[in-house]
Amino acid sequence: MKYLIVGLGNIGAEYADTRHNIGFMVLDELAKQENAKFYNMKHGYYTEVSHKGRTLHLVKPTTFMNLSGKALNYWMKELKIPVENVLVIVDDIALPLGTLRLKPKGSAAGHNGLKHIEYTLGHNNYARLRFGVSDNFPKGRQVDYVLSGFDDDELPELPALIERSIEMVKSFATIGTELTMTQFNK
Distance (Å, whole) CA 165 – CA 108: 20
pLDDT one-digit tens code per residue, 132-160 = 999 888 888 888 899 999 999 999 999 99
Which domains, ranges and CATH numbers included, belong to the chain? Answer: 2-184 (3.40.50.1470)
First vs last C-alpha separation in the chain: 28
Confidence of residue 186 (pLDDT cuts 50, 70, 90): confident
Q: What pLDDT is stored for residue 139 in this prediction?
A: 82
CB neighbour class for 88 (10 Å; exposed up to 12, middle 13-18, buried from 19): buried
* Annotated active-site residue in 20, 57, 111, 116: 20
Q: What pLDDT is stored for residue 151 in this prediction?
A: 92
pTM over 0.75, yes/no: yes
pLDDT one-digit tens code per residue, 172-184 = 999 999 999 999 9
pLDDT of 131 above 90:
yes
Confidence of residue 84 (pLDDT cuts 50, 70, 90): very high
Question: Has 20 been annotated as catalytic?
Answer: yes
